Structure 1
Amino acid sequence: MKKIGVLTSGGDAPGMNAAVRAVVRKGIYHDLEVYGIYGGYAGLISGNIKKLELGSVGDIIHRGGTVLYSARCEEFKTKEGQQKGIEQLKKLGIEGLVVIGGDGSYMGAKKLTEQGFPCVGVPGTIDNDIPGTEFTIGFDTALNTVIDAIDKIRDTATSHERTFIIEVMGRDAGDIALWAGLAGGAETILVPEENFSMDDICDRLKKGSERGKKHSIIIVAEGVGSGVEISQKIKELTNYDTRVSVLGHMQRGGSPTASDRVLASRLGARAVELLIEGRGGRAVGIVKNELVDYDIIEALETKKHEIDMGMLKLSKELSI
């Protein structure tokens, strides 16, 4: 293999640039030509592809977002769109592709792999919802952004003696809510992986009030529903004064933490090694601080992301 490509797709995540840097410099170290595909799969179809040099990825390891940009692409979901992308790669003699992104990005890599073009997936999403890896690039940075917000909101919650509901991202996964809630000392954490009762939430608020507690923090994963709607239900059942903060896309931004930079560097470099070894159709991850790789098709078709229910139980025990 002499030429490889790299693209980022789906929602951006802090640390994607560190992964791109690792792919480019690891590739060049092994005498490969590395090409950047700009604008995700849409850029692949349109041929927005440029050769990258060592200097192309200088001073990006600390930057959030992705210098290769990202975009949704409905056309790439079709076989015709996928063939267009493969033809663009073949024009330049690119023989393998590193795809950095979430499960939608992995699905694109899976489709290319099924058509005989070797791809390796690198998990880049703040949601931490990719099967086969304990952590995804961007999760730790987003988590720390949320914790910082919780700390600030707790200050004003204390001052005004109110219950604050903080809605966080994560799509259908509750990892951000769970980890941030436990680290931030939230009284209640609502995640899509566990059913909840409004009566139980209100009972916890009442018990806290009865023992003299002046404020509460409730973390709501977006996959559960709207923080505003939950606030309204609490108001109806208890008449407690609540406020809602929806953190939104600020969770995707910011300079990546040291943990995300190291993780991205390790995963990006391993993806290049797999292509050099002729092992396309794989995805890389980290389990017990060891790099792993697995069949990308099998992972998407058979594995399911799960959260640590023991941590959720612990959060309830510590927030009595």
Structure 2
Amino acid sequence: MKKIGVLTSGGDAPGMNAVIRAVVRSGISAGLEVFGIFDGYEGLVNDKIRLLNKGDVSDIIIKGGTILGSARLEEFKLVEVREKAVENLARHGIEGLVVIGGDGSYRGALALTEMGINCIGIPGTIDNDIDSTDYTIGFDTALNTIIENVDKLRDTSSSHHRCSVIEVMGNRCGDLAIYAGITTGAEIIITKETGYDEEEVLDRLRYFEEKKQKRHSIVLVSEKITDVHLLARKISLHTGFSGRATILGHIQRGGSPTARDRILATQFGDKAVRALLNGEGGRCVGIVNEEIITIDITEALQLTKKSRKPLFELHDRLV
């Protein structure tokens, strides 16, 4: 193998640039030419590909987002679309590809491997919803962004006898909510795992106010569970707290990556290059029990998510 490519796909995550840097520099150190593919699979199909050197990735380890850009391309599921991508890779002499993204990106990488282009996936998503790895790139940075903002909201909530209802990202995964809930001392955490019972939430808030004499409360809610603005209004109507809703939104995706994300990203990028050099394809990188591993993508996509029940039980004991 003489030439490899790297692309970022799906939602951006802090630390993606650190992966790109590691892939480029590790690849060059191994005697490879490394090509950047811009705008994800869309750029692969449209031949937005160019050779990268070490200078192209200088100073990007500190930056959030992705210098290669990202995009979603539903049409990549079509064989004829992927054939065009394979033709473009062949034109550049690219034999292997590092794909940074979530489970949808993994499926594209697996399909390309089946068409003769060895691909290694790297989990880049703030949601931490790739079950073949204990942590995904971007999760720690997003978590710390949430913690910083919730801490600030608690300051103002305690001054006005308020209950702050805060919606965080996570899609189908409640990790951002549960980890942030524990680390900020949130009174209530609502995720897909906990389920949502509006009356139970109101009862618990009344209990916190009347029995525990709390002057403020924090309710953390994973996105797509309920309308947080409506919940805040009901809290104002049915408890002694004044409800206020805050949706943190895409602020959670931005910012300079934490040291943990920079280190993890660097380890993942280097591991992906070495996997390609060893002839691996259709596999993804992860960290399991502090060991950097690769696992078959098909197996990774079939894994059942580890239970977070111990974390929820810990939270309930501490409230």
User: Is TM more than 0.5 here?
Assistant: yes
Q: Pairwise mapping of residues 139-154 of structure 1 onto structure 2 (< 5 A)?
A: 139-154=139-154
- Please name the residue that 2:159 is paired with: 159
Q: How far does the alpha carbon of each residue in 1:82-106 deviate from its partner, in whole angstroms, 9 at most, with x for none? A: 1111111010110000000111111
- Please name the residue that 1:41 is paired with: 41
- Please name the residue that 1:82 is paired with: 82
Distance 1:217 1:194 in 2: 16
Distance 1:31 1:308 in 2: 43
Q: Pairwise mapping of residues 113-192 of structure 1 onto structure 2 (< 5 A)?
A: 113-192=113-192
Q: Is the 8 A contact 1:34 1:52 kept in 2?
A: yes
Distance 1:102 1:285 in 2: 12
Q: Pairwise mapping of residues 1-320 of structure 1 onto structure 2 (< 5 A)?
A: 1-210=1-210, 211-238=212-239, 240-300=241-301, 302-319=302-319
Query: Cα distance 1:307–1:255, how it changes in 2: closer, same or farther (>3 A)?
Result: farther
Distance 2:315 2:41 in 1: 40
1:21 Cα offset (Å): 0.3
Task: Provide the secondary structure at the position in 2 that maps to 1:72.
Answer: coil
- What TM-score do you get using the length of structure 1 for normalisation? 0.97
Q: How many residues align?
A: 318
Q: Is the 8 A contact 1:137 1:264 kept in 2?
A: yes
Distance 2:197 2:76 in 1: 41
Q: Is the 8 A contact 1:6 1:35 kept in 2?
A: yes
Task: Provide the secondary structure at the position in 2 that maps to 1:243.
Answer: strand
Distance 1:291 1:279 in 2: 15
1:237 Cα offset (Å): 4.1
Task: Provide the secondary structure at the position in 2 that maps to 1:61.
Answer: helix
Out of 194-203 and 27-36, give the one that drifted further: 194-203
User: Match of 2:262, as an amino acid?
Assistant: R
Distance 1:254 1:48 in 2: 26
Q: Is the 8 A contact 2:209 2:240 kept in 1?
A: no
User: Match of 2:260, as an amino acid?
Assistant: S
Q: How far does the alpha carbon of each residue in 1:61-82 deviate from its partner, in whole angstroms, 9 at most, with x for none? A: 0000000000111221211111
Q: Is the 8 A contact 2:8 2:40 kept in 1?
A: yes
Out of 225-234 and 119-128, give the one that drifted further: 225-234
1:305 Cα offset (Å): 2.7
Distance 2:227 2:288 in 1: 33
Q: CA RMSD in A?
A: 1.2
Distance 1:284 1:184 in 2: 31
Distance 1:229 1:271 in 2: 45
Distance 1:136 1:183 in 2: 19
- What TM-score do you get using the length of structure 2 for normalisation? 0.97
1:232 Cα offset (Å): 3.6
Distance 1:206 1:236 in 2: 12
Distance 1:236 1:78 in 2: 52
1:200 Cα offset (Å): 2.0
1:114 Cα offset (Å): 2.3
User: Match of 1:254, as an amino acid?
Assistant: G
Unaligned runs of 5+ in 1: none
